[in-house]
Structure 1
Amino acid sequence: MTETHATLEPGAPAFPPGRYGRRREPGRRRPLLAVLLAVAMVAVMTLVAVRLYRQYGDPNYDAEVITYTGITDSQVLVDFRVTVPEGGSAVCLVRARDRDGAEVGREEVTVTARPGQRHVSTQHRLTTTARPFIGEVMRCRPPG
């Protein structure tokens, strides 16, 4: 038996039988489940971010380049300031790059603050393999 417009409910589309498969009944939506999944996802992402920050993002070790001078074909003099925990020390990675951005020198430098102080200003002469254009401090971390 074929469906005709007389046997269909008003507003329902008329499809040839067997052509498009079985039509699903409109399902019950579950907005509560979607909200709970979203909240769980945000909680997990927050926990991951906190853990990674604690592991890699230590604000107690912060370096800033004051100036880089004494540029020759084989060296650069880098003046920088490091913030460390009170009376602590840090290992800083100092590097030099040429005009093209290629690294021409790299060295780890250990700096130590005096007891009761949090800031260390130091000057380091970095030997390079070619004429540097810039001297910079990449990062500082706790020693060890």
Structure 2
Amino acid sequence: MTETHATTQYPPGRYGRRREPQPRRRWLVACLAALALVAAGAIVWRLFQQYGPQEYEPQVQRFYDVTDDGISVDFVVRKDADTEATCRVRARSASGEEVGLAEVDVPKGAEPVVSYRLATSDRPVTVEVPACGPLRSR
């Protein structure tokens, strides 16, 4: 028995027109990849500027001497040694309500520890230093 290899012939017009294979467009893939890299780089740069190291970075060391009308806090501000800063100090009650707020000046020096007594309108349970910036003249 002999084997014959037959080629499949489709009746003309029955299955539509067969398309020829398209050549690959490597330049299009390369351009899209480059565009994606540029977009990712722009996003990374924007996020770094927004959430990266800040010029003034406060950190609460401890709070103590909690009474119904005040709280004491020690905090450090990471900044250039030859600059002064103003920091906002805020106390909150057990319900989360803000019960005390003050702006505290931080002197020149490499990471000085600032001690401050914040007056409050109710008993505080915590204190925070949410923001610092350049010294504001009052």
Give the TM-score normalised by the residue count of structure 1.
0.65
2:69 to 59, 67, 74: 74
Could you tell me how far 1:127 is from its partner in structure 2?
2.0
The answer (yes or no) to whether the contact 1:88–1:118 under 8 Å persists in 2 is no
What is the identity percentage for the equivalent residue pairs of Structure 1 and Structure 2? 35
Matched, 1:121 2:113: yes
- Kindly tell me: are residues 121 and 34 of structure 1, through their superposed partners in 2, closer, same or farther at Cα, counting changes over 3 Å? same
- Which runs of 5 or more residues in structure 1 are unaligned? 1-5, 18-22
Gaps of 5+ in 2: 1-8
Stretch moving more, 46-55 or 86-95: 46-55
Partner of 2:78: 83
* Residue in structure 2 matched with residue 36 of structure 1 by the alignment: 31
Cα distance, 1:46–1:90 mapped onto 2, change above 3 Å: farther
TM-score, normalization by structure 2 = 0.68
Residue matched to 2:134? 142
* Deviations 1:101-120, CA, capped at 9 Å, x for gaps: 3322222222122xxx3211
Aligned-pair CA distance for 1:87: 1.6
CA distance in 2, matches of 1:83, 1:102: 28
What is the Cα-based RMSD across aligned positions, in Å? Answer: 3.3
How much does 1:45 deviate? 3.8
3-state SS of 1:92 partner: strand
